Amino acid sequence: MRILAPDQAVFDHVAARGASIVDRAVAWANVNSGSRNPDGLARVLDMLEVTARGLQGEVRRIPTQGSTLVGDDGSVRSEAHADALQISTRPDAPIQVVLTGHYDTVFPSDSRFQTVTTRADGALNGPGIADMKGGISVMLAALEAFETHPDRERVGWTVLLSPDEEIGSPASAPLLAELGARGHVGLTYEPALADGTLAGARKGSGNYHLIVTGKAAHAGRAFHEGANAIAGAAIIAARLHGLNGEREGVTVNVAKISGGGALNVVADNAVVRFNVRVPDAQSSAWVSGAVREIAADVPFPGLTLDLHGGMTRAPKPMDASQSALFEAVRDAGALLGQGIAWKPSGGVCEGNNLHAAGLPNVDTLGVLGGDIHSDQEFAWPASFVQRAQLSALILCKIASGEIDALKLKFLRLESM
């Protein structure tokens, strides 16, 4: 693999637009788009669509499916989600690349963390600047530059920008599965670590909500006529916690128990919310079964249990296709003077969904930064151009055949 004159022209295209690549990400990050802030999501979607229409591709909004939301009082209702944005070009090309990102953040509309500032050390500090509005800007910059390359006709690409990744992709999961099944290589733009390290193998994840319904009664005069849902929830939470250590690599985090009311009333409702992480498919099946058993075992008479949720993202191991793709990305990085390393991660993202659908992918091609999901979130401005050039080179080498996308897809399907 080496850098040819057309490749250099692509890099120069990115470098010439460095300031705008950063500036548009800052503008997007200055608009709150928490996963459950429909007004903010709509504003950012409008901004993204304006930028997308500058690309050589078809731009369209795709409605997403609704999902089930369990309230703290045990009520169950349907939740609507914002549209996804899809940009695609050359759908009949022999090689198809899928690029994904999300425009939602973890910060609610009333968060105090609303705008981007520049720290004394030059880093940008702001909500979503790394995770992942900076990554979206990098992705689009790479595509803008790649469209000037003479080999571009060999590669078709589809971008999907989703509104719900930070809550587990309940609405966009079917869209990711469809794209993953028909693509050859996936590129996803979660932030890399501050030193550029990529996430390699990822655990799988599941989110559960167990509704415990009891019977209300006066805590003094008729205590024994009631059935305490909070007490039952506490027993169940302890049973769930007890699964930790039972199987290597499996963790169960009981995150919240809600419900109940006045101190002189036997609580008739509670909700236990918990997350599980698993290293492989066998562990996923094991913990799913264990959770179902616990959810079917009423702690004491008078209670009913209703389990919602499940495994939202499958594990993403370093199989043969992933190893080969990461080696190719490392070689591409070396040509640019960028050292590329990777390590396992307990975190999950859209890369898990794509891999489960049969798509080898690298999912931390976004900007260099850190402290995501906190008010210390930051990104290094210089990394915007560097990472856009890395993605552009990956696309160039897929187009030239030096990165063999068809072989990577075959290796992934062979392992399924």
Topology of domain 5-70+80-203+315-415, per CATH?
Aminopeptidase (3.40.630)
What's the pLDDT score for residue 336? Answer: 96
Query: For domain 204-313, which architecture applies?
Result: 2-Layer Sandwich (3.30)
Per-position pLDDT tens, the chain of length 416? 889 999 999 999 999 999 999 999 999 999 999 999 999 999 999 999 999 999 989 999 999 989 999 999 999 999 999 999 999 999 999 999 999 999 999 999 999 999 999 999 999 999 999 999 999 999 999 999 999 999 999 999 999 999 999 999 999 999 999 999 999 999 999 999 878 899 999 999 999 999 999 999 999 999 999 999 999 999 999 999 999 999 999 999 999 999 999 999 999 999 999 999 999 999 999 999 999 999 999 999 999 999 999 999 999 999 999 999 999 999 999 999 999 999 999 899 999 999 999 999 999 999 999 999 999 999 999 999 999 999 999 999 999 999 999 999 999 999 88
Q: Strands of 261-303 (E only): list them.
A: 269-278
Calpha distance 103→31 (Å, rounded): 11
Q: Which residue has the tokens 């903010």?
A: 40
What's the pLDDT score for residue 195? Answer: 84
DSSP state of 153: G
- CA distances in angstroms from 142 to 99, 203, 318, 362, listed in the order given: 11, 28, 26, 15
What's the pLDDT score for residue 56? Answer: 83
Sign of CA dihedral 136, 138, 144, 148: negative
Domain boundaries, the chain: 5-70+80-203+315-415, 204-313
Calpha distance 91→182 (Å, rounded): 10
Task: Label residue 410 exposed, middle or buried (CB < 10 Å: 0-12, 13-18, 19+).
Answer: middle
Domains 5-70+80-203+315-415 and 204-313 share a fold: no
Least Cα distance to 208 among 132, 281, 284, 131 occurs for: 284
Least Cα distance to 67 among 253, 277, 312 occurs for: 312
What's the pLDDT score for residue 416? Answer: 86
What's the pLDDT score for residue 388? Answer: 98
What's the pLDDT score for residue 1? Answer: 81
What's the pLDDT score for residue 194? Answer: 79
What's the pLDDT score for residue 193? Answer: 83
